[in-house]
Amino acid sequence: MLKLLATISIVILTNSCASRTITQYKLIQIPILETPALKKISDTDLKCLDDSIYINLVERDKTLREHINKINELIKIHNKSQ
């Protein structure tokens, strides 16, 4: 009986120590989203703005466009690597 318990204990201990979990990550294609259609702002709407505010608005829009382009380029690079 003692030999049986010892054998069962050794089998349980060695099996639980020997097993390990291997995690494998799967890369997926990331879709490039379409740029949403933004509302057009007419010249007359912008005439009431101070020059500094107008410049800030133009720079903000330019920065956002550049940021979107960089993100899209990163997505394209990621998708090509697969």
pLDDT digits (tens, 9 = 90+) for 19-64: 678 888 888 999 999 888 888 888 888 889 999 999 999 999 999 9
Please report which confidence band the pLDDT of residue 2 belongs to, taking 50, 70 and 90 as the band edges.
confident
Average of per-residue pLDDT across 5-23: 73
Q: How many helices (H) and strands (E) does the chain have?
A: 3, 0
Tell whether the model's pLDDT for residue 18 goes beyond 60: no
The domain tally of the chain equals 1
Would residue 49 count as lying in a domain? yes
CA distance 58 to 47: 14
Q: What is the DSSP letter of 48?
A: T
Domain residues for the domain of 66 are 40-82
Would residue 62 count as lying in a domain? yes
* Residue 74 confidence (pLDDT): 94
